């Protein structure tokens, strides 16, 4: 059974850092706003360091008997700093958000535009969920980092560096003592915390696995019951939940130990600093206000060092996300152009020929799918490709559309090598109606107009009528505005086929490819679809892939493929006269006279 997948944790690498710098090129158009945001960030961070100093001055004023006259002055300074911090934080936030949102909008567009221009062989090796993750979760992670993590990192660096500088100025001896104790305790706490988080992630993975069991079982409940495996699934789920409980108990013990360590370590370190400061105070090396400020700065620095671990983890995830994202940008795109009109020199007449065509998929090297195929198809002919599953029929059509590139040999259109015809121009003149129709989740009208986005309502309706789809479309209360659902699930198989045929009619192609277009339909739907296909094939070169040979008897030519080789060709009557012929054998198996 399928288990939940967990991506490996990305480490900081040189390529990841390079990709991060590439990412910041998207900020370049907005660098003025970004620099202004950095100014406000520095201002708000530096003003933060003034609080412990002012509070220390307040303590000194009390000791010296000047509390009354200094109270108002220090209070006004504190209020002023708070206002500065509030204003600076506000402008820093809105400026960073503005730059981030605009930069990531550009990045999303570039990523999507690059993805959609990649060749089919790229998608053969990737899962849709993985690619969707690149645009959604990875870019959202970049958004979090660019908006808040960078600001937090800069703030923490300023507090640590500025705080240590102020501590050194206040008391060099006490600073050395503090640096010998607190950072070590904080780093130990950080590593202990990371160890505990590993157990939390382990528990999360176990929960994800248990959720997978529930999801698979409920989705396949019919199979579970048909095979009487209810108790097997109950036992499997019980094992996983007990595993979660065991991990949780162990993690709880570590969390308890961690809490005790924090109390002893961090508070013990602060007690040690105060003890040492008190000794210096007794010797006259430091005054009470300076000691008070020192303790506050020590707490600031200790907490900030601890927070650096979280920021560092976010930066790791950020660099990992940029590395995954820019892997896509390293892939070579197809040479596509927007087709507004077709150049007469590249207009297809409908003649097709292949010469010594050989192909093997890049993902399966050494496994030849098509072997040295040479054939001729004349304009406006209806030709059929037949053969057993895996014979190479669908692969032939993908090569015609140049979804893949032949390993050897060539494909010519009207005597011209297909490679000299611009890719978008070639595909704009070929339409494919596959067996498994994909409809977008919008309306029927939107799906039909996908064949020609500039089509008018009248043209869409006319295409629907020719495809025998207008009858059922009119029966829906919302007509062409009826939503088809995800992948067209609100329509029947025959209805989806007729919408796809209407879409192809609207495209008005020179070459039509039908891949098992009626194989999974009932008799009534097949009759309506077949009638629509007659309209669609009129005046075009039509290539039909079929397992049911009864649908191709009237073809002008039939090409028989077997294990990637062209073994026979001719009309139905000619092929039936070949003794022990492949086509004749297939026909007899299907009881075709």
Strands 430-433 and 511-515: parallel
What pLDDT score was predicted for residue 3?
41
CATH of domain 348-429+511-593: 3.40.50.300
Strands 352-359 and 370-377: antiparallel
Bridge partners (DSSP) listed for residue 18? none
pLDDT, one tens digit per residue, over 111-131 is 888 888 888 888 777 777 667
CA atoms within 13 A on the CB side of 559: 25
DSSP 215-237: HHHHHTHHHHHHTT-HHHHHHHH
Let me know: does 400 contact 374? Beta carbons within 8 Å.
Answer: no
Alpha helices in 283-351 (DSSP H): 288-329
Bridge partners (DSSP) listed for residue 36? none
CATH of domain 440-508: 3.40.50.300
Spell out where 456-520 has E strands: 511-515
| Tokens representing residue 273 in the block | 């600093």
Closest CA to 111 of 333, 318, 266, 303: 333
What pLDDT score was predicted for residue 378?
92
Cβ atoms < 10 Å from Cβ of 73: 14
Q: What is the largest CA-CA distance in the chain?
A: 120
Contacts made by residues 469-477, CB under 8 angstroms, sequence distance 24+: 469/444, 469/495, 469/498, 469/499, 469/501, 469/502, 469/532, 472/498, 473/444, 476/444
Burial of 8-24, coded b for 16+ CB within 10 Å and e otherwise, reads eebeeeeebeebbeebe
Residue 499 Cα distances to 391, 448, 508, angstroms = 29, 6, 14
* CA–CA dist 45, 41 (Å, integer): 6
Let me know: does 299 contact 267? Beta carbons within 8 Å.
Answer: no
Let me know: does 412 contact 352? Beta carbons within 8 Å.
Answer: yes
Bridge partners (DSSP) listed for residue 390? none
DSSP 120-175: HHHHHTS-HHHHHHIIIIIHHHHHHIIIIIHHHHHHHHHHHHHHHHHHHHH-HHHH
CA atoms within 13 A on the CB side of 146: 28
CATH of 8-170+308-334, one of 3.40.50.720, 2.40.440.10, 1.20.1560.10, 2.70.98.10: 1.20.1560.10
Exposed / middle / buried, residue 275 (Cβ in 10 Å: 0-12, 13-18, 19+): exposed
Domain ranges across the chain = 8-170+308-334, 172-285, 348-429+511-593, 440-508
Cβ atoms < 10 Å from Cβ of 522: 10
* CA–CA dist 55, 39 (Å, integer): 26
Closest CA to 258 of 199, 315, 181: 199
Cβ atoms < 10 Å from Cβ of 411: 18
pLDDT in tens, the chain (593 residues): 444 344 444 555 566 566 666 777 788 888 888 889 888 888 888 887 777 777 776 666 666 555 566 677 777 887 888 888 889 888 988 888 888 888 888 888 888 888 888 888 887 777 776 677 667 767 777 776 766 777 777 777 887 787 778 777 777 777 777 777 767 776 776 677 666 666 666 766 777 677 777 877 887 787 788 878 888 888 888 888 888 788 778 777 777 777 677 667 767 777 777 777 777 777 777 777 777 777 777 777 766 766 666 676 677 677 767 777 777 888 888 887 777 677 778 888 889 999 999 998 877 777 888 999 998 999 988 898 888 877 888 888 888 888 888 889 899 998 888 888 888 888 888 888 887 788 887 888 898 988 888 888 899 988 888 888 888 889 888 888 888 877 677 888 788 888 888 888 888 888 988 887 665 555 666 677 777 777 778 788 988 887 667 667 888 899 998 888 889 899 888 988 888 888 888 877 765 55
Closest CA to 396 of 519, 551, 539, 566: 566
Give the orientation angle of helix 67-116 with respect to helix 50-63, to 10 degrees. 170
Exposed / middle / buried, residue 32 (Cβ in 10 Å: 0-12, 13-18, 19+): exposed
Closest CA to 516 of 502, 495, 530, 535: 530
Exposed / middle / buried, residue 318 (Cβ in 10 Å: 0-12, 13-18, 19+): buried
Provide φ and ψ at 417, rounded to 5°: -60, 125
Provide φ and ψ at 590, rounded to 5°: -100, 5
CA-derived radius of gyration, the chain: 36
DSSP single-letter state for residue 340: S
Alpha-carbon torsion angle 250, 255, 261, 262, nearest 10: 170
Domains 348-429+511-593 and 440-508 share a fold: yes
């Amino acid at each position: 059974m399928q288990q939940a997948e967990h991506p490996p944790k990305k480490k900081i690498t040189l390529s990841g850092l390079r990709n991060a710098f590439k990412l910041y090129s998207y900020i370049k158009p907005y660098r003025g706003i970004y620099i202004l945001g950095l100014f406000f960030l520095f201002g708000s961070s530096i003003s933060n360091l003034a609080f412990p100093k002012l509070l220390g001055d307040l303590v000194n004023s009390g000791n010296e008997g000047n509390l009354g006259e200094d109270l108002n002055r220090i209070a006004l300074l504190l209020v002023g700093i708070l206002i500065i911090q509030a204003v600076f934080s506000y402008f820093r936030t809105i400026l960073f958000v503005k730059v981030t949102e605009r930069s990531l909008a550009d990045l999303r567009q570039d990523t999507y535009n690059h993805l959609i221009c990649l060749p089919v062989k790229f998608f053969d090796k990737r899962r849709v969920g993985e690619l969707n993750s690149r645009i959604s979760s990875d870019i959202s992670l970049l958004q979090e980092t660019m908006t808040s993590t960078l600001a937090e990192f800069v703030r923490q660096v300023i507090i640590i560096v500025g705080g240590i500088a102020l501590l050194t100025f206040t008391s060099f001896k006490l600073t050395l003592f503090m640096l010998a104790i607190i950072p070590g305790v904080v780093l130990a706490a950080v590593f202990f915390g990371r160890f505990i988080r590993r157990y939390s992630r382990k528990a999360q993975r176990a929960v994800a696995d248990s959720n997978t069991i529930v999801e698979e079982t409920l989705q396949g409940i019919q199979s579970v019951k048909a095979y009487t495996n209810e108790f097997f699934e109950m036992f499997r789920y019980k094992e996983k939940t007990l595993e979660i409980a065991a991990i949780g108990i162990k993690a709880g013990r570590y969390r308890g130990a961690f809490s005790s360590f924090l109390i002893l370590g961090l508070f013990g370190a602060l007690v040690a600093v105060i003890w040492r400061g008190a000794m210096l105070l007794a010797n006259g090396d430091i005054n009470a206000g300076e000691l008070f400020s020192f303790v506050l700065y020590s707490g600031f620095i200790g907490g900030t060092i601890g927070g650096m671990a979280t920021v560092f983890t976010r930066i790791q995830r950020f660099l990992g996300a940029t590395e995954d994202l820019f892997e896509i940008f390293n892939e070579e795109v197809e040479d596509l152009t927007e087709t507004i009109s077709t150049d007469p020199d590249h207009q297809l007449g409908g003649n097709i020929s292949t010469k010594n065509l050989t192909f093997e998929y890049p993902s399966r090297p050494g496994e030849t799918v098509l072997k040295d195929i040479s054939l001729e198809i004349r304009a406006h002919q209806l030709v059929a490709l037949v053969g057993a599953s895996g014979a190479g029929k669908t692969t032939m059509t993908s090569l015609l559309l140049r979804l893949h590139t032949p390993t050897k040999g060539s494909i010519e259109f009207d005597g011209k090598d297909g490679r000299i015809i611009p890719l978008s121009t070639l595909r704009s003149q070929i339409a494919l109606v596959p067996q498994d129709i994909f409809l977008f989740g919008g309306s029927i009208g939107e799906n039909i107009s996908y064949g020609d986005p500039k089509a008018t309502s009248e043209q869409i309706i006319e295409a629907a009528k020719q495809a025998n789809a207008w009858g059922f479309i009119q029966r829906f209360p919302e007509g062409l505005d009826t939503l088809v659902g995800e992948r067209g699930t609100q329509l029947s198989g025959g209805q989806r086929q007729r919408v796809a045929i209407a879409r192809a009619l609207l495209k008005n192609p020179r070459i039509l490819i039908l891949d098992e277009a009626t194989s999974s339909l009932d008799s009534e739907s097949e009759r309506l679809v077949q009638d629509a296909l007659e309209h669609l094939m009129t005046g075009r070169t039509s290539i039909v892939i079929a397992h049911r040979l009864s649908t191709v008897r009237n073809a002008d030519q039939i090409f028989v493929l077997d294990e990637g080789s062209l073994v026979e060709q001719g009309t139905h009557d000619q092929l039936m006269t070949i003794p022990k012929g492949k086509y004749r054998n297939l026909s007899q198996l299907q009881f075709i006279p």
